[in-house]
Amino acid sequence: MIGLGTIINCIAIAAGSSLGVFLKGGLPRRFETTIMQALGLCTFFIGIGGAVSGLLTIADGSIATQHTMLLVLSMVLGALIGEALDIETRLNGFGAWCQARFAGGEDGKFVEGFVASSLLFCVGAMAIVGALEDGLNGDPSILIAKAVLDGVAAIVFAASLGKGVYLSVLPLLVYEGGITLLARFIRPWLTDALISQMSCIGSVLIFAIGFNLMFDKKVKVGNLLPAIFLPAVFFLLSRLFPALGTL
């Protein structure tokens, strides 16, 4: 059944969120703080690992970098587009609206939980590759493996940030489900190299999420989301301007 992987992924997040919310009620404040720092630290290094694997290569026995200019251009242009669209504010606004409707305004971290968990669950290689495999071959195995990881993360997120994590299933359903449904049309354009480049930028954004969680800073990760898709734009433009293929 095509789309089964996305359904299982959403169910795992909902189940993990339920367990996390249950645990949150019995955790002292100091436990929540330490768990939040631990989650930030893990997210931090997941992002570092993905970014390094995409940027570093071994050639002739020595380590070299690749696609650094592509990363810089994508992040800068993505930031300009994201700020122009003000994606972060729109995400926060949607989260606040849902908080007022469903959480009664009582959960002070509702919006933070929604935004942070949504970005983490949607950004990354497994979401793209898994959805493509599900859509093209009816193979949900990658998304099922992702569901296990996301379910565990949802427990920790919900234990620290509360019910807003539930809401992350909506953007995940649209994102993974959309890629699954459109897989036959977009797969010819998504080469392995292009997916790798998109995943590398996604890992940088995951690093930024961890940075926000660890240090209570506010990198506007939502406004950087367009950067993930810009390698595809550069790939198409390289057909007309071959020099762009060397970025």
Tell me the per-residue pLDDT of 125-134, one tens digit each, with 9 for 90 and over: 788 888 988 9
Distance CA 131, CA 134 (A): 5
- Specify whether the CB–CB gap between 206 and 43 falls below 8 A: yes
> Which of the pair, 114 or 34, is modelled with greater confidence?
114
Range of the domain at 86: 4-246
> Which of the pair, 104 or 19, is modelled with greater confidence?
19
Distance CA 189, CA 212 (A): 33
- Specify whether the CB–CB gap between 209 and 153 falls below 8 A: no
pLDDT digits (tens, 9 = 90+) for 139-198: 899 999 999 989 988 988 888 888 889 999 999 999 999 999 988 888 777 788 888 888
pLDDT digits (tens, 9 = 90+) for 46-96: 888 888 887 877 767 677 778 888 899 999 999 999 999 999 888 888 888
pLDDT at 27: 67
Mean pLDDT of the chain: 84
The whole-angstrom distance between residue 53's C-alpha and the CA centroid of its chain comes to 17
The CA angle 91-93-98, to the nearest 5 degrees, is 95
Distance CA 28, CA 35 (A): 11
Indicate left, alpha or beta for 22 from its phi (over 0: left) and psi (-120 to 50: alpha).
alpha
The domain tally of the chain equals 1
Q: 158 burial class (0-12, 13-18, 19+ CB within 10 angstroms)?
A: buried
